[in-house]
Amino acid sequence: MTETESAETRSDALHPDAAVFSAGDEDRADGGETPPAAASEATESATPEGFRGTLRHVFVVAVTEYRLAVRSHWALALTGLFVVFGATMMTFSGSAVGPEGAERVVASLTSLAAYLIPLSALALGYDAIVGREDEGWLAIVFSLPVRRSEVVAGTYLGRLTVLAGATVLGFGFSGALLVREFGIGEWTSFLGFLVGAVGAGGAFLAIAVLLSTVAREKTHALGAALLVWVWFVLVHDLIALGVVAAFELPDAVLSAFVFSNPVSAFRVLVLSGLGTTAGGGFTAVLAGSDLSTASLAVALAAWCLVPIAVAARLVRRRRL
């Protein structure tokens, strides 16, 4: 084995692609025959081989994005941010009129996360596609035998893994302090918060990837991401509260207000689990709306999936 071949083997062994390679692709002939060009992509993806290929492409892109985010210190920065803000909130804050004990802390963490998580997710995702195009990487990747939608999905999943990891580790530190302070019995309410936070982060990351897909320049994507944050985190709640205060609205409209904002869905999801309205604002108004945990979870999941599905569709039209 030559020195260069040895180095390649080392690189591949360390690379997650090694797992991909071992998943049945090694039997492919080197420089084999040109495949017949009869079946459409849709037909092809319906076959087991096509499905395996799609999974491989998404996985490779996701692993690459994850690796890049870790190396650019995004993962460390987000984790540190969540640790610092979470610990500060636990130390110095707490709702004066909300629940007591651990639930009060979780309610306070929810209020913090409602601002912090969307901002972090949007910052992490706004350059996902347009940034790669600026680098010159997107044109190269799109010239490979991969669907553009697979690149979008892989990009989202890779960055979502970074965000979810940072959320769990960063706020997990607060959770550890919580358990130490109030005992393991309070872990359940914190777990609900953690799951909701990951869901809200996933929703805003999906929106960011969508913005990145349609934006022609990174600055446009950044500006749009900031507007999205202002709308969902600051303005939407105020408007909803005003409308609810001014009119007698049926429950269905209240539910629509919640479902139309992932931040509201996250707040109501976590706080309804605590049996409190300590989040204040529009969330307090929703105390009696009887939204089920399942419906709120579905709403957050939809906020994750729909923007990515739209991005996967629109990226086909993107001109490089």
Partner 1 sequence: MRIDASDVRKTYGDVTALDGLSLSIPSGSTFGILGTNGAGKSTLFRLLVGHDRPDAGTVAVGGSDVTEDGRRIRERVGYLPEHVGFPDGLSGREVLAVHSAIRGLPRDGRTARAVERVGLTPDEADRRVSGYSNGMQRRLGLATVLLPDPDVLILDEPTAGLDPRGVDEFHAIVEEITAETDATVVFCSHVLPEVERLCDRAAVLHDGRVRASGSIEELAAAAPEPGDETRGDRRGRRGLRAVFRAAVADEPAGDSRVDGVEVTS
Of the listed pieces 23-31, 78-86, 169-177, 222-230, which binds partner 1 according to CB under 8 A? 23-31
CB 157 within 8 A of CB 241: no
- Long-range contacts, stretch 37-46, CB < 8 angstroms, 24+ apart: 41/147, 45/147
Angstrom distance (rounded) from CA 159 to CA 166:
11
Of the listed pieces 107-115, 134-142, 169-177, 266-274, which binds partner 1 according to CB under 8 A? 134-142
Considering the rule CB under 8 A, would residue 185 count as an interface residue with partner 1? no
Nearer to partner 1, 57 or 104 (CB): 57
Residue 58 CA neighbour count, 13 Å, CB half:
13
CA dihedral 275, 108, 156, 264 (to 10 degrees): 50
CB 62 within 8 A of CB 154: yes
Site string for partner 1, 196-235 (x = CB under 8 A): ----------------------------------------
Q: Which of 272, 270, 268 is nearest to 240 (CA)?
A: 268
Nearer to partner 1, 79 or 255 (CB): 79
Considering the rule CB under 8 A, would residue 21 count as an interface residue with partner 1? yes
Nearer to partner 1, 205 or 315 (CB): 315
Number of residues binding to partner 1, judged by CB under 8 A: 50
Identify each DSSP E strand in the chain by its residue range: none
The pair of structure tokens assigned to 187 is 């872990």
Considering the rule CB under 8 A, would residue 46 count as an interface residue with partner 1? no
Q: Which of 197, 185, 175 is nearest to 271 (CA)?
A: 197
Site of interaction with partner 1 (CB under 8 A): 2-5, 7-9, 11-12, 15, 17, 20-21, 25-26, 28, 30-31, 34-35, 37, 40-41, 44, 53, 56-57, 60-61, 64, 67-68, 71-72, 132, 134-137, 139-147, 319-320
